[in-house]
Amino acid sequence: MMDAHEDAAVKASRSGLHLAQLNVGRLVASPEDPKLKGFMDNLERVNAIAERSPGFVWRLIGASPQTGATDLTLPGDDTMAVNLSVWESAEALEGFVWNTVHKQFYNRKAEWFTPMTEAHFVMWWIPEGHRPTLQEARDRLEYLRTHGSSAYAFGWENLQNIQAWRSQRCA
């Protein structure tokens, strides 16, 4: 039996919707610090893999494609690094996150990011062609933090057909 979020995912794939995602984190040092060398030296490569992945639609890029969006911050919190992207489906995002080199970098996140005690990842459905703003993404994350998961803002756990995150402890 499908839950409401999975049902929404199925409907989205048939109704001209794409999946937006925001992932935020506080870097343990400035991007120029040697502590972040392993992360910064591979950011362009991982982003290029995302862009070539099946189902990739768009990602937020700051001043330089080489550094992704590391020069951008979450509105209202200039210490929070952001990753904002759009995918054709949850399955497409799952494939990139868990079936590419991205997984290796996810597994090393404790080296580069401070631990988070509140939600730092959120997804939501958007109309095809829409490019979410950082403010819109921040609002979705704040909604998830305040009200919990809903069709408005949700995490992996609300997509029953997406399983890889369960074994990887992605929350």
- Return per-residue pLDDT of the chain as tens, 171 residues: 344 554 555 555 558 999 999 999 999 998 889 999 999 999 999 999 999 999 999 999 988 766 667 778 888 888 788 999 999 999 999 999 989 989 888 899 999 999 999 999 999 999 999 999 999 999 999 999 999 999 999 998 877 666 655 455 544
Q: Is 126 helix (H, G, I), strand (E, B) or coil?
A: strand
Class of domain 4-168: alpha beta
pTM to 2 decimal places: 0.84
Q: Which distant-in-sequence residues (6+ apart) come within 8 Å of 8 by Cβ? A: 125, 151
* Backbone angles phi and psi of 149, in degrees to 5: -70, 140
Annotated domain spans of the chain: 4-168
CA-to-CA dists, residue 54 to 23, 58, 89, 91, 103, angstroms: 20, 12, 10, 10, 16
